[in-house]
Amino acid sequence: MELTERKLRILQAIVSDFITSAEPVGSRTLSKKYDMGVSPATIRNEMSDLEEQGYLTHPHTSAGRVPSDRAYRLYVDRLMDRVELSESEKRRISEHLAGNIIELDRTIEHAANILSEITNLTSFAITPKQDENKLKYINILPADESTVVLMIVAESGKVKNTVLQLKAPYHEESLSLLSKAMTYNYRGKTISDIMTMDIIRNFETDIEAMSRLAESIMPNFVKTLESMLDINLYLDGLTNIFSIPEYNNLEKAKTFLEMVNRRNNFKDVLVNRDEGVVITIGAENSEDLMRDCSLITATYHINGKLVGKLGVIGPTRMKYDKVTSVIEYITDNLSRSFTLP
Amino acid sequence: MELTERKLRILQAIVSDFITSAEPVGSRTLSKKYDMGVSPATIRNEMSDLEEQGYLTHPHTSAGRVPSDRAYRLYVDRLMDRVELSESEKRRISEHLAGNIIELDRTIEHAANILSEITNLTSFAITPKQDENKLKYINILPADESTVVLMIVAESGKVKNTVLQLKAPYHEESLSLLSKAMTYNYRGKTISDIMTMDIIRNFETDIEAMSRLAESIMPNFVKTLESMLDINLYLDGLTNIFSIPEYNNLEKAKTFLEMVNRRNNFKDVLVNRDEGVVITIGAENSEDLMRDCSLITATYHINGKLVGKLGVIGPTRMKYDKVTSVIEYITDNLSRSFTLP
DNA sequence: CTTAGCACTCAACAAGCAAGAGTGCTAACA
DNA sequence: TGTTAGCACTCTTGCTTGTTGAGTGCTAAG
């Protein structure tokens, strides 16, 4: 039941032709454009076999053939070639990601940005899960008579701050004391540890002023920690779908946009994907709404540990070779710039 | 050329009917549904007059009448009634905006959120311009052997921080010295002053270690200030347009989404609008792409000064009365929660 | 096994037609 | 003078029908 050399060649021709033209491809076109050395009739016979084996489908009797998910899978696994990015593309990418400031979130946003521009698809990126991230220190700084800034710094370099409105004025010394006490207590613990264990309740101190301060700050400390756990999702190139023939009817465009806009749902899908480059084609996606889409993701690393993801979503007919190369190139770049020397 | 009482009543009926039905309204429907006390024929005569005066249009000979921009303008200025929000809506809004933590950006995002949910339109919000905002202090904190966190606090309570990767290790004392020196220099100055004037170049110090540190930090200080000036734009309910008949063809939906997605352009439009509740209808909008849309914005205040904006964009056929009330209610709430007691 | 030839199928487009909604006008009425 | 009924007219919408072109499947010959 293995495919012959010729069948493979025909299949490859059909897939690449359909990927660029979006039109069902017929036997005549095939034999002309790709000089296969055989006549259309022969190709028809072969195509008929391929259809029987589930690699091709037939929108209707008198239309050409269209690759099935299975054909794309074969194409991705065995037929497609690596694509080397052009110099100008490489330059564009590095320029977008450059900068000696490590601004994690912004850099990732830019990565999603450039990805959608180069691929003309809808791109996305998520920031790493932070739950294994350890706290480095906590700082509470004065801002106003009754306003303070709570600042939490994690070992990864992630910083989060919240402006807090206190009910009463405070003493600056209490602030720095409390900062030190909290840092002493929580340093080196992971964020999720702090959240799940009961250490927060047990935070007690004998110094009266500090204890009152702690009372109003602790709940917000927890909230801020919580928000540090949040995974950010960046989407870009949403309107690109309008130039893709697959979405040239309202119903489909709507479905697509609504699917991607269910951000939490979409985040979950991304979080649960494996590391490395992962391609899921059409019905291989577990989500019903994604059955007509292909998803390509790759992972980037921060200091070789924390893992975030980046990728594109689009119709099953997409330039798998090119897109994969771009995504890999970008995630490599990201990992490198997020790794301290 | 003043409109008679009856013409006004007819116009009001047409506008409200069309706003809910989205169908051209004919004379027969009008006299039946809104018992005007006159026959369809009479109404036809009146409608004919109204059309002559530019309040109504005619998609084609045998269709009902459709209100023009001018009719909506009249409706908004004179005919529409205030709408009181339901208790449950009020509750939903306050719940969304509640919280004793002042997290400016997040609260504003939530506001845009609830606005689109209640109105079923596309909503947006922008954060205030920060250029009149004065610096309160600057803090440079240690994070790693060669990493520091630069933190800038403005008088409004706005906080911004950047993680900086230094080329060489530093002394903690130099950090706190530099923080103090910078604070001393820039406190009380507005952000745009600092950026435009030359004070940055002139930042000099005799202490050797500090000066080297300052050299690598100053450029990033400027960048961070720059990013503080950035106005954030939050959009929500984009996919709502798919349930609006006006956008039930691909071309229009595409145009709409692309217009809103040109974020910088859209930001500019918003920034340049007047304070208070502003309604612009169809061709009243200066932007070409917005000629088919109406825009309603209102302003909220932070501590009675800094001004941000919130609003919706949708087809000219929208529930002006309801939407205006919701927007006003939300901005009032925002202003109140952003004002320290 | 490959190929030429031919009948067959189906989508897409255009043209024609009927039904329905709504108007504009005219003439009669209060 | 304002209001109304009646009627012809217009235009959209949906339906049907016919035509064209692309492409297939099958058969028989090379």
DSSP A313-326: EEESSS-HHHHHHH
Q: For B179-211, how does the pLDDT look when each residue is reduced to its tens digit (9 = 90+)?
A: 998 999 899 999 988 888 766 666 666 666 677
With an 8 Å Cβ cutoff, are A162 and B257 in contact? no
Pairwise CA distance, residues B341 & B334, whole Å: 14
Q: Name the residue among B246, B237, B254, B253 with its Cα closest to residue B310.
A: B237
Q: For A272-284, how does the pLDDT look when each residue is reduced to its tens digit (9 = 90+)?
A: 999 999 999 999 9
Q: Residue A149: its chain B contacts at CB < 8 A?
A: 151, 153, 159
B303 touches strand C (CB under 7 A): no
Pairwise CA distance, residues B99 & B115, whole Å: 18
Q: For B50-78, how does the pLDDT look when each residue is reduced to its tens digit (9 = 90+)?
A: 999 999 998 888 899 999 999 999 999 99
Q: What percent of chain B has pLDDT over 70?
A: 94
Q: Quick one: average pLDDT of A297-310? A: 92
Please report the pLDDT score of residue A206 as a whole number: 62
Q: DSSP state, B103?
A: -
Please report the pLDDT score of residue B223 as a whole number: 86
Task: Report, in ranges, which bases of strand C sit under 7 Å from a protein C-beta.
Answer: 2-5, 8-11, 20-26
Q: Is the pLDDT of residue A75 over 60?
A: yes
Please report the pLDDT score of residue A89 as a whole number: 96
Nearest nucleotide to A26, CA against C1' atoms: D23
Pairwise CA distance, residues A300 & A307, whole Å: 6
B31-50 residues near strand C (Cβ < 7 Å): 40-41, 44, 47-48
Please report the pLDDT score of residue B169 as a whole number: 85
Q: Given B144, B157, B161, which is nearest A144 (Cβ)?
A: B157
With an 8 Å Cβ cutoff, are A102 and B161 in contact? no
Question: CA nearest A263 in B: which residue?
Answer: B236
Q: Which residues, numbered 229 to 268 in chain B, qualify as contacts with chain A under a Cβ-Cβ cut-off of 8 Å? A: 238-239, 242, 248-250, 253-254, 257-258, 261
Pairwise CA distance, residues B17 & A31, whole Å: 61
- B143 touches A: beta carbon within 8 Å: yes
Q: Given A139, A249, A258, which is nearest B141 (Cβ)?
A: A139
Q: Given A104, A164, A239, which is nearest B258 (Cβ)?
A: A239
Please report the pLDDT score of residue A37 as a whole number: 86
Nearest nucleotide to A45, CA against C1' atoms: D25
Please report the pLDDT score of residue B215 as a whole number: 82
Pairwise CA distance, residues B181 & B205, whole Å: 9
Q: What percent of chain A has pLDDT over 70?
A: 94
| Average pLDDT taken over every residue of chain B | 90
With an 8 Å Cβ cutoff, are A157 and B139 in contact? no
Nearest nucleotide to A41, CA against C1' atoms: C3
Distance B23 CA to C30 C1' (A): 35
Q: Is the pLDDT of residue B307 over 80?
A: yes
Identity of residue B11? L
Pairwise CA distance, residues B104 & B125, whole Å: 12
With an 8 Å Cβ cutoff, are B153 and A165 in contact? no
Q: Residue B146: its chain A contacts at CB < 8 A?
A: 340
Q: How many CB atoms lie under 10 A from the CB of residue B84?
A: 10
Tokens of B102: 């002042």
At B34, is the pLDDT very low, low, confident or very high (cuts 50, 70, 90)?
confident
Q: Is the pLDDT of residue A341 over 80?
A: no
Please give the helix or strand (H or E) that residue B281 lies within, else none: strand B278-281
Identify whether the C-beta of residue A228 lies closer than 8 Å to the C-beta of residue A164.
Answer: no
Quote the pTM value.
0.91
With an 8 Å Cβ cutoff, are B101 and A162 in contact? yes
Distance B62 CA to D9 C1' (A): 9
Torsion of CA A150, A154, A158, A164, to 10 degrees: -10
Q: What percent of chain B is helix, strand and coil (3-state, nearest 5)?
A: 50, 20, 30
Ordered structural domains, chain B, with CATH: 5-79 (1.10.10.10), 87-129+231-337 (3.30.450.40), 135-229 (3.30.390.60)
Q: Residue B144: its chain A contacts at CB < 8 A?
A: 157, 340
With an 8 Å Cβ cutoff, are B257 and A238 in contact? yes
Q: Quick one: average pLDDT of A30-57? A: 92
Nearest nucleotide to A63, CA against C1' atoms: D23
Please report the pLDDT score of residue A315 as a whole number: 97
Helix (H, G, I), strand (E, B) or coil at B190: strand
Spatial CB neighbours of B260, under 8 Å, sequence gap ≥ 6:
B122, B124, B235, B238, B266, B313
Please give the helix or strand (H or E) that residue A81 lies within, else none: none
Pairwise CA distance, residues A317 & A320, whole Å: 8
Question: CA nearest A222 in B: which residue?
Answer: B101
Q: Phi/psi of residue B125, each to 5°?
A: -150, 145
Pairwise CA distance, residues B221 & B238, whole Å: 36
Q: Quick one: average pLDDT of A261-269? A: 95
Please report the pLDDT score of residue B35 as a whole number: 81
Q: Quick one: average pLDDT of A28-49? A: 91
Q: Quick one: average pLDDT of B231-242? A: 95
Identify whether the C-beta of residue A120 lies closer than 8 Å to the C-beta of residue A240.
Answer: yes
B56 touches strand C (CB under 7 A): no
Footprint of strand D on the protein (CB under 7 A): A 23-29, 40-41, 44, 47-48, 51, 58, 61-65; B 38-39, 41-42, 45, 59-63
- A62 touches B: beta carbon within 8 Å: no
Closest residue to C20 by CA to C1' distance? B62
Q: Quick one: average pLDDT of B5-21? A: 94
Identify whether the C-beta of residue A188 lies closer than 8 Å to the C-beta of residue A212.
Answer: no
Spatial CB neighbours of A286, under 8 Å, sequence gap ≥ 6:
A269
- Sheet with strand B233-236: strands edge to edge: B233-236, B122-126, B306-315, B293-302, B278-281
Q: Residue B100: its chain A contacts at CB < 8 A?
A: 164-165, 220
- How wide is the angle at C-alpha B190 spanned by C-alphas B273 and B130, nearest 5°? 35
Please give the helix or strand (H or E) that residue A109 lies within, else none: helix A104-119
Identify whether the C-beta of residue A158 lies closer than 8 Å to the C-beta of residue A130.
Answer: yes
Helix (H, G, I), strand (E, B) or coil at B310: strand
What is the Cβ-side half-sphere exposure of residue A45, based on CA atoms within 13 angstroms? Answer: 5
Q: How many CB atoms lie under 10 A from the CB of residue B189?
A: 14
Please report the pLDDT score of residue B211 as a whole number: 78
B67 touches strand C (CB under 7 A): no
Q: Is the pLDDT of residue B1 over 60?
A: no
Q: Given A100, A220, A261, which is nearest B239 (Cβ)?
A: A261
Dihedral-angle region of residue B235 (phi above 0 means left; psi in -120 to 50 means alpha; beta otherwise): beta
At A261, is the pLDDT very low, low, confident or very high (cuts 50, 70, 90)?
very high
Q: How many CB atoms lie under 10 A from the CB of residue A251?
A: 9
Identify whether the C-beta of residue A301 lies closer than 8 Å to the C-beta of residue A338.
Answer: yes
- B157 touches A: beta carbon within 8 Å: yes
Please report the pLDDT score of residue B206 as a whole number: 62
Nearest nucleotide to B51, CA against C1' atoms: C23
Give the CA distances from residue A66 to residues A52, A272, A319, in Å, rounded to whole numbers and listed in that order.
13, 31, 15
Q: Residue A220: its chain B contacts at CB < 8 A?
A: 100-101
SS (H, E, C) B221-261: HHHHHHHHHCCCEEEECHHHHHHCHHHCCHHHHHHHHHHHH
- Which of A152, A239, A247, A263 is best to mutate for the B interface (most B CBs within 10 A)? A239
Nearest nucleotide to B41, CA against C1' atoms: D4
Pairwise CA distance, residues B292 & B284, whole Å: 10
Q: Is the pLDDT of residue A203 over 70?
A: no
| Weakest-pLDDT range from A5-9, A217-221, B141-145 | B141-145
Chain centroid to CA B111: how far? 10
Dihedral-angle region of residue B304 (phi above 0 means left; psi in -120 to 50 means alpha; beta otherwise): left
